[in-house]
Structure 1
Amino acid sequence: MENIKTRDNIIYVNKKYLTKNHEVTLNSNFIKIFDVNVEEFMKPFIPLFKEAAISITIIFHIYQLSQYNKRICNSLLDRAKLAEFVIDQLIRRRKENIKNFKNFTWYKSFERLIEILTKIKIFAEKISQLHEIKKFLKVKNIKERFEILINEYDNVMMDLNFNMAITNEQQRKIDHENLKDDLSEIKEFLEKFDSIENKLKTSIIYEEVLNIRPNNKNVEVKNLDDIKLTKPRIIKDDDIRGRFIRKMYLNTNEVACIKAYNYESLPYYHNLAIYMKATQSPNIIQFYGFAELEDFPVMVSEWAEFGNLRNIYLRDGITSLKLKLAYTLDVCRAIAYLNALGIYHKELQCSNVLVTAENIAKLKFSSPIRSLSSTFEDVRWRAPEMILNMKLYDQKCEIYSIGMLLWELIFERRPYEDMNFSMMIDYVTNGGREKLQFDNNSSIMVNNQKSIKKIIKKAWSHDPDARMSISKLFIDLDTLIKSLDEDNNKVDNKMSLKLKNPSNYKSEVYKYDSKSIQNVIEPILSIDIGIKAHRAKNYEKAWKCFKMQVENQNAFGKYWMGYYLWEGIFVQKDRKAALTLYKEAADDFIVDAQYRYSCALNKLSTELRINPKEIIKSLQLAADYGSEKAQLLIGDAYLKAKLGYKKNLEMAILWYRRAALQNNKDAKEKLEKLGIEFLTRD
């Protein structure tokens, strides 16, 4: 966590992974106590109240921005909100709770509550974003982890006598249904989605995208060698389409050369480096870089033989319902991929979906900082909350636009063609939508029409929270396409529409004089204090801190206590105990703990008779979770055929690049020796 500050009794949290550099605001009643004079017996609790406020805020925003497992995140948010309520009540009735505030056992239980809220926050983050879910499922059972967290939450609430916050039978039933529905959905989605996407090196792409800073002028877009752009072997009448010129790149790839008109002056020029990485998906038009064509700057991207969907349906019409749904499914796949990288397309409509010679629909390149000013054309597909500028753009807005795109594609016309601008704005923002009326009412088509209506209505719901998830949309479209396969010889796919005129944060340390509390409570030293003591070589104080944190089940405390026991710092070596602590910290997503656990397994393998496969599995997990040292070791293993890995230069380079992105010096040197370019952090 960075930049935690208070202003006018409101906490502002700058959380990049959640808000894309926008501030998250928490305006809760119990924050007011932070900036006023409080009783001495309350002061040890002030840092804990702040940490609770921050965790609860972030859990709320994780829920709002969750792309997957939203029901589970909602159950977690229920607990966070209950914690907020009981803390607020505790502060308002603090004079009635003086006895508790001066009880050290009660204080330790309260700090354990803060630790559990932190665990809930981390868990919610891991299961709500696609790139994290894939890693999480390699080592964790979501249902099992959820139940452990809820039990820990209930136990600490019981210890604190916050009985109203303990889970009742009704809530457990809701939790069970949420788990069942979400886990079934994500399992089916990943099975379908990964059938293509698992061939991509999505991890390295994700890390490279995060590594590129959009406003950093040192990040350059690739300039292509002009001589590698040649004329097509077969000349066609439509090789020149306005600003688009068809060429061959490296004699194998058909590309579109697009006149860029002094691209260095474009505001999004440096953001194109992000998109060069992000377009490496089967359903996004690939961007290759810049070149000079006849002394004119051009952007070079993948060629789409059939043009965009709007031109296709205006020119020829698309008679196959199955093909329309397949195109929409391609769009969903592209959006799921982009959103997993933290990128939103923002311009979803048929004119921005191109079709290749293989009849695959691909999203056209879009500027990452495209203005969302309400032009007449764009508003047709835009979510009502964005028209009213009520919120930040997120995946719910993308889902709405996919619903409008599907409507456009099914009925082959732009939305709201019969309305003027002001009428359309008023109609859409007040809940109005296009009509869903089909000409073809055959008995076979009725069920398919109902399914299409249901999908579109759930996608363009006026309430953003009521819109279907991208995973549910993907599954429903795939299911409908397969049902059409079964009715292949019976279905008349031609349909038209009759449209009626519509009516890792660090909390701020609170300074107080512990002597003024009459020695009733000795506040638990924070992890930050322990680490500072370690760096100052005050190992006794550091050990005391880490031990206190372990008693409260703090994951970082377990990691540091394991380190002290392994190295024999201040205390006698106990490597078996250290191994256990490393494992527990690794299970709570402490990356360095996972790496040290792997190394510890290797050291103790003979003594404990550990299967070498278990060591390799642990090392792989450490690398997957971002340990640069583990990534370097796996790169070496692929390069030199060690640790049971087969020699594979491509995989070695991939892992070296991941380590280099974290400024691992050895990985950079190895890549340089292999003649490989890579991006670096500032």
Structure 2
Amino acid sequence: MNIFDINVEEFMKPFIPLIKEAAISITIINYVYQSSQYNKKICNSLLDRAKLAEFVIDQLIRKRNENIKNFKNFAWYKSFIRLVDILTEIKVFSEKISQLHEIKRFLGVKNIEKRFEILITEYDNVMMELNFTVAITNEQQRQIDHENLKDDLSEIDEFFEKFDSIENNLETSIIYEEVLNMVENRKTAEVKDLGNNKLTEPRVLKDDDIRGYFKRKIYMNTIEVACVTFHDDEPLPYQNDLAAYIKATQSPNIIRFYGFAEFDGFKVMVSEWAEFGDLRNIYLRGGIIPLKLKLTYVLGVCRAIAYLNALGFYYKELRCSKVVVTAENIAKIKFSKQDRPILEVKIVRWCAPEAFRNGKFNQKSEIYSIGMLLWELIFERLPYENRDVIEIFNFVKNGGRETVQFDHNSSGMINIQNGLEKIIRKAWSHDPYARMSISKLFIDLDILIKSLEEIEDNHSEVNSNDFNNDNEVDNNINLKLENPDNNNKNEEHDYDSKSIQQKEIIPISSIYNGIKAHKAKNYEEAWKCFKMNAENQHPLGKYWLGYYLWEGKFVQKDKKAGFGLYKEAANDFIADAQYRYTFALVDKDIRSELIVDKKEVLKSLQLAAEYGSGQARFIIGNAYLKETFGYKKNLEMAILWYKRAALRNNEAAKEKLKELGIEFSHL
């Protein structure tokens, strides 16, 4: 290496950690896209930009001799930091919009659309500043992005409209947050001991009180439960995250697990009793199950799977015998031990082909299993009924699937049957990434149910046994993923080393160094760090600079400037900024200059709570308890919000729950 090369490497030093940070964000954005169940097209548009950034950064490294003037330009360095920050923001945004419960925090699809537009505009602007023209979005790409945005948001809006009746309520949100809290903190299992005298025999015996290993008992004199003998050396379901899974069973469409008890000298696991048994036994009894009811059952399965997926649980034993129906005719998935080997006849019939190879289950493999479960329930028979494990393995691995063949009996039913076939084939596609999302599956099933209701309203007869399935079809699908070989070589360039100034760029201090200085009460150093980061559009830099200006810490107080920075940081999902912005709206100095709409204050407070501000959640709880901020008095809602605040370690909320005599296990 000659002396000139050494100079180039010296100039690149401040960029090395930034390039590494960008690479991490790009990798995560790619992973989020690959695993996303929601807003996949939007995630794809964001991935396109991440990949373009990866390309230009790679060019920058390989052609560093050509870029030495940029490396020594401080303004260019600041723009490069901004690019890295935008990639981080894209990463966070894509993670949020691809997760069920995170999407809800946007409080409407318009906020997702607004945030997407801001991000891609900022991305294009910084690419122009860096003169990375190849990465700037053209008008055609913008149009494609707009269509992707429109398609995804339309789907997710429709999905929540149909899904919300059960899932999108505060109690379910609290269960979700409690489970995440357990998983993040690796909370050990605390399985409830129900005592020895709370289980009794049913007063009225039924023919099916004993189902295999399960026996029907009565808990607390009123609740029908299923009991199964358990030995202490047996592995528990989801052993590593048992506490989290037990809590998750309190959500709809999952059989609830109550705990352990002693009965007749044996230790038993106690769970919710399903009056009608499992779906396989239901269809084997020989009665006619209306098609609409079958699809409603599968819709319930989709609810359960979507909820478990959001919590990071995957249900690899999904099939009709694992779905039970309660006395209220609600389909729920059973508590499962999840420890069976894949190549077992009880699993392999519903197992996705890629799971054969790597033994891993994810959202895509579960969509496949739902497709197989739907086929099983529609045609009321096991998939690949006359094949053994090895035959099934080879058949499915090579693209073979069951036949989807119906007997057509009316024009209305033809449309229903075509819709069912499309769903099934899309769900069990050989290519995991070609399978439909859980939201699309949910919507399409709901549409078919609505269509069946219209047929019923028109007094048409719907017979769910109008299905015939004789033979399997072998669809050999060969997937080839080409990986183009990039043979570009570094070009050599001649430079006059005397023309290059030996001036070193001083790196911008990390925002976390500023926070550390603030905690150490070194306010001058903290201010300088926050100011430099805020000038470079870092969200936390804006928040902290706003805080210093609002409070007059180290610098002269300037509430108006602080208010503006709070708002900018709040738009970047900084929870504390959203909270402070909310109360800045009602500050007398701000209100003397601005006309503040009361609805905007409430919306801002709600956003702060959804972004995770414990204090905002506590205030909403107080508002329900004391009838302030326009909230009507509601003790139940107050308690729910106090619980959500307590999950964020809000001490005032914990004390309030104690005052109200509320037990909360995560205090």
Alignment pair present for 1:545 and 2:526: no
Q: Does 1:662 align with 2:631?
A: no
Is 1:477 the counterpart of 2:441? The answer is no
Match of 1:179 in 2: 149
Compared with structure 1, are the counterparts of its residues 345 and 246 closer, same or farther at alpha carbon in structure 2 (3 Å cutoff)?
same
* Counterpart Cα distance in 2 of 1:195 and 1:298: 34
Whole-Å separation in 2 of the counterparts to 1:558 and 1:198: 33
Q: Specify the SS of the correspondent of 2:328.
A: coil
Partner of 1:201: 171
1:635 aligns with 2:601: no
Normalised to the residue count of structure 1, the TM-score between the two structures is 0.88
Matched, 1:388 2:357: yes
Question: Which one-letter code corresponds to 2:374 in the other structure?
Answer: L
CA drift of 1:612 comes to 4.4
Aligned residues: 632
**CA drift at 1:609:** 5.2
Q: Residue 618 of structure 1 corresponds to which residue in structure 2?
A: 604
**Would the aligned equivalents of 2:308 and 2:314 in 1 still touch at CA under 8 Å?**
yes
Contact 1:102 1:521 (C-alpha < 8 Å) held by counterparts: yes
One-letter amino acid matched to 1:81: K
Are residues 1:378 and 2:347 paired?
Answer: yes
Measured against aligned partners, the alpha-carbon deviations of 1:515-553 in whole angstroms (never above 9, x if no partner) come to x98435332222122222323333222222211111211
Q: Which runs of 5+ in 1 are unaligned?
A: 1-35, 504-515
Residue of structure 2 in register with 1:73 after alignment:
43
Indicate which of 279, 283, 291 corresponds to 2:249: 279
Aligned-partner Cα distance in 1 for 2:184–2:233 = 15
Is the partner of 1:246 in helix, strand or coil? Answer: strand
Distance in structure 2 (CA, Å) of the matches to 1:266 and 1:500: 40
Matches of residues 89-168 of structure 1 in structure 2 within 5 Å? 89-138=59-108, 141-168=111-138
Alignment of 1:350-361 (within 5 A): 350-361=320-331
Q: Which residue of 2 is the match for residue 230 of structure 1?
A: 200
Alignment match of 2:462 (pick from 485, 488, 491): 491
The secondary structure found in structure 1 opposite 2:244 is helix
Other-structure match for 1:582: 566
1:415 offset after TM fit, Å? 0.9
CA distance in 1, matches of 2:508, 2:20: 15
Pair 1:210 & 2:180 matched = yes
The residue number in structure 2 matching 1:671 is 657
- Give the distance between the partners of 2:29 and 2:38, measured in 1 at CA: 14
CA distance in 2, matches of 1:101, 1:611: 48
Letter in 1 for 2:655: E
CA 1:637 to 1:269, structure 2 compared with 1: closer, same or farther past 3 Å? same
| Counterpart Cα distance in 1 of 2:577 and 2:591 | 21
Aligned partners of 1:275 and 1:287 also within 8 Å = no
Q: Which runs of 5 or more structure 2 residues have no equivalent in the other structure?
A: 1-5, 475-499
User: What letter matches 1:477 in structure 2?
Assistant: L
In 2, Cα distance between equivalents of 1:286 and 1:37: 66
Of 286, 302, 307, which residue of structure 1 is paired with 2:272?
A: 302
What is the CA-CA distance between 1:122 and the residue it aligns to? 1.5
- Partners of 2:617 and 2:365 in 1: CA distance: 36
Distance 1:265 1:96, change over 3 A: closer
Is residue 2:315 matched to residue 1:345?
Answer: yes
Q: Which residue does 1:421 correspond to in 2?
A: 389
Q: Distance in 2 between matches of 1:273 and 1:294?
A: 27
Q: After superposition, where does 1:306-345 map in structure 2 within 5 Å?
A: 306-345=276-315
Cα deviation digits, residues 453-475 of structure 1 (max 9, x gap): 10000000011110001111011
2:190 to 220, 226, 250: 220
Tell me the secondary structure at the aligned position of residue 525 of structure 2.
Answer: helix
Tell whether 2:633 aligns with 1:650. no
- Judged with a 3 Å threshold, the aligned counterparts in structure 2 of structure 1 residues 501 and 490 are, in CA distance, closer, same or farther, namely closer
Structure 2 Cα separation of the partners of residues 397 and 469 of structure 1:
11
Change (3 A) 1:517 1:416: farther
Q: CA deviation at 1:598?
A: 2.2
Conserved 8 A contact 2:258-2:270? yes
1:16 equivalent in structure 2: none
- DSSP-derived class of the 2:66 partner: helix
Which stretch has the larger CA shift, 176-185 or 254-263?
Answer: 254-263
Quick one: distance in 1 between partners of 2:290 and 2:606?
A: 46
For residue 290 of structure 1, report the CA deviation from its aligned partner: 1.8
CA RMSD of aligned residues (A): 2.4
1:500 matches 2:471: yes
Q: Which amino acid counterpart does residue 296 of structure 1 have in structure 2?
A: F
Amino acid of the structure 2 residue aligned with 1:244: F
TM-aligned CA deviation for residue 661 of structure 1: 2.3
Q: Assess if the C-alpha contact under 8 Å between 2:196 and 2:263 holds in 1.
A: yes
Give the distance between the partners of 1:216 and 1:149, measured in 2 at CA: 34
Query: How far apart, in 2, do the equivalents of 1:567 and 1:196 lie?
Result: 44
What is the alpha-carbon distance in structure 2 between the residues aligned to residue 234 and residue 263 of structure 1? 34
The residue identity in structure 1 corresponding to 2:375 is: W
Partner in structure 2 of residue 594 of structure 1: 578
Partners in 1 of 2:143 and 2:648 — Cα distance? 44
User: Which residue does 1:453 correspond to in 2?
Assistant: 421
- Alignment partner of 2:254: what SS? coil
Matches of 2:573 and 2:340 in 1, distance apart?
A: 37
Q: Deviations over 1:93-123 (max 9, x none)?
A: 0001111111112111111111111121121
Following superposition, the deviation at residue 335 of structure 1 comes to 1.3
- Stretch of structure 1 that moved more, 102-111 or 519-528: 519-528
Could you report, residue by residue, the CA deviation over 1:302-350 in whole angstroms, capped at 9, with x for unpaired residues?
Answer: 1111111111111224442222212111111221222222222221100
Moved more, 602-611 or 454-463: 602-611
* Structure 2 equivalent of residue 512 of structure 1: none
Distance in 2, matches of 1:199 and 1:425, equals 42
- The equivalent residue for 1:531 is 515
Equivalent position SS for 1:137: coil
Partner AA of 2:349 in structure 1: R
Q: 1:372 offset after TM fit, Å? A: 5.0
TM-score scaled to structure 2, two decimals? 0.89
Deviation of 1:161 (Å): 1.3
- The answer to whether the 8 A contact 1:256-1:301 is kept is yes
Residue in structure 2 matching 1:467, options 435, 446, 450: 435
Question: What do the CA deviations read for 1:109-143 (whole angstroms, capped 9, x no partner)?
Answer: 11111111112112111211110111113595222
Query: Quick one: structure 1 residues 470 and 372, their matched pair in 2 at CA, closer, same or farther if it must change by over 3 Å?
Result: farther
Q: How far did residue 199 of structure 1 move?
A: 4.0
- 1:562 pairs, out of 546, 560, 564, with 546
- Bigger mean CA deviation after superposition, 229-238 or 152-161: 229-238
Distance 1:485 1:268 in 2: 39
Deviates further, 79-88 or 590-599: 590-599
Seen in structure 2, the aligned counterparts of structure 1 residues 540 and 630 have a Cα distance that, compared at 3 Å, is same
Q: Does the aligned pair in 1 maintain the 2:283–2:289 contact within 8 Å?
A: no
Stretch of structure 1 that moved more, 196-205 or 430-439: 196-205
SS in 1 for 2:271: strand
- Paired residue type of 1:675: G
1:71 is displaced (CA, Å) by 0.5
**Structure 2 Cα separation of the partners of residues 109 and 217 of structure 1:** 42
Give 1:417 shift.
1.4
Q: Quote the Cα distance in structure 2 between the aligned partners of 1:467 and 1:400.
A: 8
* Alpha-carbon distance in 1 for matches of 2:374, 2:229: 31
Match of 1:397 in 2: 365
Aligned residue identity for 1:658: R
Change (3 A) 1:183 1:501: closer
Q: In structure 2, how many angstroms separate the alpha carbons of the residues matched to 1:535 and 1:254?
A: 55
